[in-house]
């Protein structure tokens, strides 16, 4: 797998003519990689691409993988940001979500990581059945007390054909409560604001200077390449994705063929993506850019379609930007879909 990833990186260097600003080890469990494997991948990037002087290099990690030794080793590499999948600091929530780590490991790995890393983000899940608002507040307070500078937080979702889905259908667990999730989302917004974490994207909260540069590049429509199984790439006019099956991916590389499929993006697709990413952020959707990239007719239609949401105070226009309001944030996906070009 590592050899295949290195080979793909070497093959695709011409796809990124500009300097690389961020490198992100995500998807799956990259924290299982040895430090030598991580160093090999990073050195391959440096040997084949132009990289800025101080790139943001993030590694996603599960708490049960982050031993004291591993954290220390990572701190001596070029990795300068950790994204830790905590999900909750409470044992019963972690058991419900079928996480491999326990509450003690969650607290330990974050505390230990902060001894070696300044730039850390954690994931927290709200809307979990049997998680009261009081417990959600305690979860957030633990994060604030630790001094974590960035939090990514999402409502629990249940995928079909999963163990959790079957347990809910059989009545072993209560169904998801959307009203509870909305209450906890509002608590999240209020409490992060009190602790000077800016909600710069619907699910992302960071202190100034700690916004995720990598994820921000997605939301701002910058070009990127994804390496490895299931990885996605975007160049402004097309999107591609690698085979998800590990064996198919490796076989394709060994047979000297790029392991991906390509979709050319139509005008409607590009417009919808501009809305989907822009409205989720504090930067919103620039109406001048919409007119420049898609034409005045589409810009005027967007403003017209947005009027009912502006009247409902879930959208607003400020400084020629279309922005989602605090009232509209929990409903962002539905509002955005309503504005899509079909």
Q: How confident is the model at residue 35 (pLDDT cuts 50, 70, 90)?
A: very high
CA-based nearest residue to 50, from 84, 10, 21: 21
Longest dimension (CA), the chain: 59
Digit-coded pLDDT (tens) for 58-112: 999 999 999 999 999 999 999 999 999 999 999 999 988 888 899 999 999 999 9
pLDDT at 342 > cutoff 80: yes
**H or E stretch including 243?**
none
- Round to whole Å and give the CA distance between 42 and 187: 39
Residue bearing the bigger pLDDT, 294 or 174: 294
pLDDT digits (tens, 9 = 90+) for 271-316: 999 999 999 999 999 999 999 999 999 999 999 999 999 999 999 9
127 touches 156 (CB < 8 A): yes
pLDDT of amino acid 160: 78
| Band of residue 129 on the pLDDT scale cut at 50, 70, 90 | confident
Say yes or no to pLDDT of 173 above 80: no
The residues, any chain, with a CB within 8 Å of residue 251's CB and separated by 6 or more, are: none
Strand 238-242 relative to strand 51-61: parallel, antiparallel, unpaired?
unpaired
Which domains does the chain carry?
19-219 (3.30.750.200), 278-339 (no CATH)
């Amino acid at each position: 797998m590592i050899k295949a990833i290195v080979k793909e990186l070497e093959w695709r260097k011409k796809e990124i003519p500009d300097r690389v600003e961020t490198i992100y080890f995500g998807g799956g469990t990259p924290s299982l990689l040895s430090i030598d494997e991580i160093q090999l991948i990073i050195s391959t990037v440096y040997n084949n691409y132009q990289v800025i002087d101080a790139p943001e290099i993030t590694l996603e990690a599960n708490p049960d993988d982050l031993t004291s030794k591993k954290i220390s080793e990572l701190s001596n590499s070029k990795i300068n940001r950790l994204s830790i999948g905590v999900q909750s600091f409470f044992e019963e929530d972690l058991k419900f979500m079928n996480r491999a780590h326990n509450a003690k490991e969650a607290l330990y790995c974050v505390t230990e990581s902060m001894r070696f890393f300044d730039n850390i983000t954690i994931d927290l899940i709200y809307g979990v059945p049997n998680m009261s608002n009081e417990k959600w507040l305690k979860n957030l307070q633990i994060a604030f007390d630790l001094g974590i500078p960035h939090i990514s937080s999402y409502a629990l979702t249940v995928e079909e054909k999963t163990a959790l889905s079957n347990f809910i259908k059989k009545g072993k667990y209560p169904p998801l409560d959307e009203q509870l999730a909305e209450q906890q989302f509002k608590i999240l917004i209020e409490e992060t604001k009190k602790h000077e974490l800016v909600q710069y994207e619907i699910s992302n909260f960071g202190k100034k200077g700690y916004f995720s540069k990598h994820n921000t590049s997605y939301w701002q429509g910058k070009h990127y390449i994804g390496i490895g199984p299931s990885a996605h790439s975007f160049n402004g006019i097309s999107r591609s994705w690698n085979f998800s099956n590990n064996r198919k991916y490796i076989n394709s590389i060994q047979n000297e063929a790029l392991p991906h499929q390509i979709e050319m993006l139509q005008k409607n697709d590009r417009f919808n993506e501009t809305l989907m990413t822009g409205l989720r952020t504090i930067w919103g959707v620039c109406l001048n850019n919409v007119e420049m990239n898609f034409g005045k007719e589409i810009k005027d239609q967007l403003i017209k379609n947005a009027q009912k949401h502006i009247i409902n105070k879930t959208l607003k226009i400020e400084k020629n930007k279309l922005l989602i309001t605090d009232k509209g944030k929990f409903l962002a996906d539905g509002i955005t879909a309503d504005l899509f070009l079909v």
